[in-house]
Amino acid sequence: MTDQSPLAFPPGFTWGAATAAYQIEGGANADGKGRSVWDTFSHTPGKVRGGDTGDIACDSYHRYREDADLLSSLGLSAYRFSISWPRILPDGTGQVNQAGLDYYRALADALGERGIAATATLFHWDLPQGLQDRGGWASREVALRFADYAAVVAEALGDRVARWITLNEPLVVASNGYRTGVHAPGLRDMDAAAAATHHLLLGHGLAVSALRAALPSGAEVGITLNLTPVRVTADANGEGAALERARQVTDACLNGVFLEPVLSGRYPEYAPPALLPPDGLIEDTDMATIAAPLDFLGVNYYQPVHLRPGDPDNLRRDEEAPPVRVDGVVKYRPDGVYQPNSVARTAMDWLVDPEGLYELLLRLSKDAPGLPLYVTENGCAAEDYVNPEGAVDDVERVRFLHLHLAAAARAIRDGANLAGYYVWSLLDNFEWAWGYQKRFGIVFVDFGTQRRIPKASSAFYADVARANAVPPLPVSWPV
Ligand code: IFM
């Protein structure tokens, strides 16, 4: 019989919601902000669904107090937002735009007045266009400029922001931005992607040291990686060893390329050479810089991938992701073209797999003993709409959150070092190449009027946060 008691979280557990600058702020040209690669990309015809741009988005640049009120009404203890680099340094380097710093100081103050702790991400993909014009992350110089920017922001906000994230999901930047081109800056260049991988990591390491130099003691510094459990299917008749090898390669591609350098100062053994920087690019002290000790690891979890035996001739060679091949046995792509059909999916067609979160948290607690983990993103897109009563009853998201929060609580019970959870996302927002079509918020945004309507999931999440416990799962749900 299923245990029907609530699953409690530890005292002091952080309950938060997350957003990112380009996805919610709007104010694309306000008060001296420079252009970012996403301004350029979204204004390039054919790049974003429906021609959507982040010019206005949720207009949070002007409505941040209202958004802080929303967080407060939900009783959340933390808000993860990102800082727009070109709002602070319009050209990426050089002249500081004081109005940009003032905006984030005012946002942090609005949060502080409501008892909400600020968690700031320095880079959530909106690189200043001026730096892209000098090579973007494929250029070593950008890593150095990132550290300068970190120092400027830490000086200005260090008294108001206690938790700092250097990069958000650098894997997505390197793969979608430089390898497949579906994100800004839209390059399809394996060499540039490999160089970007190294320079993102180097930028992270240099920024850690710049932040530590400028922040008061007690500030926490970490990085957020999107991490993905990799599973082989049970029907691996006689293919065990080859599939295990494929699993190791895929794990290296999806997780190890960023996780291992950050945790251990080396690139993963099983990563295909084409994904890694050539030796000449790695300078003597780089790997030690990259492995600078952290106060926490931010984990973004959405779904696992699955591998299965297959005909290598069927390997997909589409433009989205060049296949990483294990000859003669396995059909898969790094992002997992094969997924089982039998489970629920979100409006992104992503699997609903809370067990993946459980597995991931326990694995990371083993790989990085003692390092606090925060789930810095988890959530789902759903086909939300305002019903005739004026409400948004997003039962799919309530179920998704219930299952994943229960998995997180079980992981803690079984030894995972999880200190907090930030739902993605506070608001429906600009979902990159999908534009406004995909809604991830626990608060609905009517983009035409900017009216915010809290969805049913926000009430569910608020109840969990207030109780610091997740209610028992309905007995009828498969766990
Ligand atoms: O919206 C994104 C976010 O910017 C980064 N992580 C995944 C989310 C959903 O795709």
Q: Report the pLDDT averaged over residues 105-124.
A: 99
Q: Going along 124-229, which residue ranges are E strands?
A: 163-168, 220-226
76 Cα: distance to centroid of ligand 1 (angstroms): 20
Evaluate whether residue 463 is within a structural domain: yes
- Selecting among 220, 260, 359, 377, the annotated active-site residue is 377
Choosing from 25, 169, 396, 431, the catalytic residue is 169
Cβ density class 108-137: b for 16+ within 10 Å, e for less? bebbeeeebbbbbbbbbbbbbbbbbeeebb
- pLDDT in the model for residue 377: 99
Q: Is residue 301 packed enough to be buried (19+ CB in 10 Å), middle (13-18) or exposed (0-12)?
A: buried
Atom of ligand 1 nearest to the CA of 302: 7
Residue 308 maps to a domain: yes
CB 232 within 8 A of CB 316: no
* Helices and strands (DSSP H and E) totals, the chain: 15, 15
Residue 479 scores a pLDDT above 80: no
Give per-residue pLDDT as tens, 148-200.
999 999 999 999 999 999 999 999 999 999 999 999 999 999 999 999 999 99
- 113 belongs to the catalytic site: no
Domain total in the chain? 1
The answer to whether the CB of 38 is under 6 A from ligand 1 is no
Most informative mutation of 172, 377, 422 for ligand 1 (most atoms within 8 A of CB): 377
Tokens of 377: 């993103």
Using CA atoms, how far apart are residues 243 and 240, in angstroms rounded to an integer? Answer: 5
CA distances in angstroms from 91 to 33, 37, 179, 279, listed in the order given? 9, 11, 24, 30
pLDDT of residue 192: 97
Supply the pLDDT for residue 3.
Answer: 63
User: Is 475 contained in some domain?
Assistant: no
What pLDDT digit, counting tens, does each position of 370-391 carry?
Answer: 999 999 999 999 999 999 999 9
Task: Find the 366 Cα to ligand 1 centroid distance in Å.
Answer: 26
Other beta carbons within 10 angstroms of residue 18's beta carbon come to 30
Which residue from 22, 121, 169 has its CB within 8 A of the most atoms of ligand 1, so it is best to mutate?
Answer: 169
* Percent of the residues in the chain that have a pLDDT greater than 70, as a whole number: 90
377 part of the active site: yes
The Cα–Cα gap between 473 and 401 comes to 11
Residue 272 reports pLDDT greater than 50: yes
Cα 177 to ligand 1 centroid, rounded to whole Å: 14
Is the pLDDT reported for residue 326 higher than 90?
no
Structural domain of 258 = 7-470
User: Is position 479 within any domain?
Assistant: no
Nearest atom in ligand 1 to the alpha carbon of residue 348 is 10
Give the pLDDT confidence score for residue 475 in this predicted structure: 83
Q: What is the pLDDT of residue 386?
A: 98
Residue 399 counted as domain residue: yes
Task: Name the residue at shortest CA distance from atom 2 of ligand 1.
Answer: 431
With 80 as the cut, is the pLDDT of residue 330 above it?
A: no
Looking at residue 306, what is its pLDDT?
78
Compute how many other C-beta atoms are within 10 angstroms of the C-beta atom of residue 276: 18
CA of 431 relative to ligand 1 center, distance in Å: 7
DSSP letter, residue 234: T
> 314 pLDDT exceeds 60?
no
Residue 168 lies in a domain: yes
Q: What is the CA radius of gyration of the chain?
A: 21
478 located within any domain: no
CB of 20 shorter than 6 A to ligand 1: yes
To the nearest 10°, report the CA torsion of 329, 332, 334, 340. Answer: -130
Q: Is 431 in the pocket of ligand 1 (CB under 6 A)?
A: yes
User: Closest residue (by CA) to atom 9 of ligand 1?
Assistant: 431
Among protein residues, the one with the nearest Cα to ligand 1's atom 4 is 20
Task: Assign 261 to helix, strand or coil.
Answer: helix
Q: Which of 452, 456, 436, 432 is nearest to 444 (CA)?
A: 452
Residue bearing the CA closest to ligand 1, atom 10? 431
Most confident of 228-237, 255-264, 321-330: 255-264
For residue 428 and ligand 1, the question of a CB distance below 6 A is answered with: no
CATH code, domain with 97: 3.20.20.80
Mean pLDDT over each residue of the chain, to the nearest integer: 92
Query: How far is the centre of ligand 1, averaged over its atoms, from the C-alpha of 327 (Å)?
Result: 32
CA distance 468 to 478: 23
**Which pLDDT does position 171 carry in this prediction?**
97
448 three-class SS? coil
- CA-431 nearest atom, ligand 1: 1
Q: Do residues 320 and 243 touch, judged by C-beta distance below 8 A?
A: no
Cα of 319 to ligand 1 centre, how many Å? 21
Backbone angle region of 75, left / alpha / beta, with phi > 0 → left and psi within -120 to 50 → alpha: left
Atom nearest to 432 CA in ligand 1: 1
In the chain, what are the helix, strand and coil shares in percent, each to the nearest 5? Answer: 40, 15, 40
Query: CA-CA distance, 470 to 208, in Å (whole number)?
Result: 34
Q: Is 46 left (phi over 0), alpha (psi -120 to 50) or beta?
A: left
Whole-number Cα distances in Å, 33 to 29, 67, 90, 407: 5, 21, 5, 41
Tell whether ligand 1 has an atom less than 6 A from the beta carbon of residue 169: yes
In this structure, are residues 225 and 170 in contact, taking their beta carbons and an 8 Å threshold? yes
Q: How far is the CA of 242 from the centre of ligand 1 (A)?
A: 32
Does some domain include residue 273? yes
Which atom of ligand 1 is the closest one to the Cα of 168?
5
